[in-house]
Amino acid sequence: MSYFDYAATTPIDHDSLEVFTKVSKEFWGNPSSLHEIGGKSEGLLQRCRETLADILHVPSKGIYFTSGGTEGNHLALLTLGLSRQDKGKHIILSSGEHSSLHSSALFLEKLGFTITRIPLTSQGLVDVPKLKEAITNETTIVSIGHINGEIGSIQPLKQIKALLDGSCILLHSDMVQSFGKLPLEDVTSIVDSFTVSSHKIYGPKGVGAVYINPSLDVYPYLPEQTHEGGYRGGTVNVPGIAGFVTAASKFNAHTFDHYKGLRQHFFSCLDEHLPGKYTCYEAPEDAQLPHLIGLSIHGLEGQWLMLECNRSGFSISTGSACQVGKQGLSRTLTSMGVSSRESKEFIRISFGKETTEKQVEDLVITLSTIHTNTLSSLT
């Protein structure tokens, strides 16, 4: 099976797995316990926190380990929103945010918050003028994901931050899709909170982190929790965290060039085998993550095409794995103004470090064969 769904999850890195196994055996104590065995785990946990903070170029005091990006987004939006509700109860997010942020926003709406959802342009970028128009005296939080998880567009966080300068509005960003793919120091330094996840970067599943600027006057949204500075409950997953930080430490900027080459090769093959028979949804090159491709093959429903590819030995997707099983159309494409018919044709292809040009060629040939056979059967 050739895997083209790295935006959903990645296989665990060998070194990360070795560290996970070693820590599971040797650091099995609860880091909150006061005895020596617990203290040993606590020491490792704090070293992991400091290492991740160094990688992200933020103070370690603001790092809180979570079970992944979804929990991190819930924790961030609810913490910031509820902590600032005396200043206002208006939150802005883009329509293309991860489902976890839309879920948190719906919860806050039930508590009396007003949520404004900003559409995306036809290139998958948040409509900044409309965001500016949406800001009111009641606005306290803006949440814009760094990378759109369905088409890979890189959102203009610096431009948005400049828009918010001089106000008391906080900026949160879901950086799950960009962490491990891009250098982040330019953006982690300008946001007030962000989330990252382990299993997107070849680390163990069920681990992630949220950063909340420690200078902010905020408090946990659930009272009397006993772990991670009171921001969450449940025994901390020290082995998973150690594996996560190991994977994060292996970031290699050269993979960007690898992904860029694969993307160019993919479209070159598409133009050879399916000329004029596909639509790619993407941002300008300087605002596009190269390893993630959102497109449609004309005349083929995306879910059916995914199943046919699976039968032929290729794993692709129809968007975020967190949305699979839902009947609604892609939030991203709907927000971009793509018709429901075209949205139903959408598929997502994403590359990993292991992806080869030969695999890319074979995938395109398979897509072309499925397209040809399908049209032949209809005539």
Q: Are 236 and 206 in contact (CB under 8 A)?
A: no
Number of domains forming the structure of the chain: 2
Residue ranges with strand state E in the chain: 2-3, 63-66, 90-94, 114-118, 139-143, 170-174, 193-197, 208-212, 278-281, 292-297, 314-315, 346-350
Do residues 85 and 206 share a domain?
A: yes
pLDDT of 197 above 60: yes
Q: pLDDT tens for residues 57-104?
A: 999 999 999 999 999 999 999 999 999 999 999 999 999 999 999 999
Between CA 105 and CA 73 the distance in angstroms is 10
Mean pLDDT of 228-233: 88
pLDDT of 379 above 70: no
Please tell me the predicted confidence (pLDDT) of residue 243. 98
Please tell me the predicted confidence (pLDDT) of residue 11. 97
Mean pLDDT of the chain: 94
What's the distance, CA 309 to chain centroid?
24
The pair of three-digit structure tokens given for residue 180, joined into one six-digit string: 């491990």
Please tell me the predicted confidence (pLDDT) of residue 87. 96
The single residue of 48, 168, 280, 322 carrying the catalytic annotation is: 322
Between CA 78 and CA 84 the distance in angstroms is 10
Do residues 296 and 354 share a domain?
A: yes
Do residues 213 and 77 share a domain?
A: yes
User: Which of 248, 273, 289 is the last residue in one of the domains?
Assistant: 248
Do residues 259 and 244 share a domain?
A: no
Please tell me the predicted confidence (pLDDT) of residue 226. 84
Which of these, 163, 99, 100, lies nearest to 126 by C-alpha position? 163
67 or 166, higher pLDDT: 67
User: Which of 207, 226, 248 is the last residue in one of the domains?
Assistant: 248
Which of these, 363, 371, 378, lies nearest to 298 by C-alpha position? 371
Q: Are 75 and 68 in contact (CB under 8 A)?
A: no
Do residues 226 and 270 share a domain?
A: no
Q: Are 96 and 173 in contact (CB under 8 A)?
A: no
Is the dihedral angle over the CA atoms 50, 53, 55, 57 positive or is it negative?
negative
Please tell me the predicted confidence (pLDDT) of residue 329. 80
Helix axes 69-83, 99-110, angle to 10 degrees: 30
User: Which of 204, 219, 248 is the last residue in one of the domains?
Assistant: 248
Least confident interval from 195-209, 254-268, 308-322: 308-322
Q: pLDDT tens for residues 360-375?
A: 999 999 999 999 988 7
pTM: 0.94
Q: Residue 254's pLDDT band (boundaries 50, 70, 90)?
A: confident
Please tell me the predicted confidence (pLDDT) of residue 366. 98
Which residue stretches of 111-201 are H helix? 128-134, 157-164, 185-188
Q: Are 59 and 214 in contact (CB under 8 A)?
A: yes
Mean pLDDT of 251-266: 93
Do residues 64 and 213 share a domain?
A: yes
Q: Are 114 and 138 in contact (CB under 8 A)?
A: yes
Range of the domain at 290: 2-9+252-378
Do residues 368 and 294 share a domain?
A: yes
Do residues 120 and 242 share a domain?
A: yes
Q: Are 212 and 64 in contact (CB under 8 A)?
A: yes
- Annotated active-site residue 322? The verdict is yes
Do residues 282 and 181 share a domain?
A: no
| CATH (domain of 120) | 3.40.640.10
Please tell me the predicted confidence (pLDDT) of residue 374. 84
Do residues 154 and 256 share a domain?
A: no
Strand 170-174 to strand 193-197: parallel, antiparallel, or no bridges (unpaired)? parallel
Between CA 240 and CA 204 the distance in angstroms is 6
Is the dihedral angle over the CA atoms 211, 213, 214, 220 positive or is it negative?
negative
pLDDT of 5 above 70: yes
Q: Are 158 and 190 in contact (CB under 8 A)?
A: yes
Is the dihedral angle over the CA atoms 57, 98, 172, 68 positive or is it negative?
negative
Do residues 276 and 357 share a domain?
A: yes
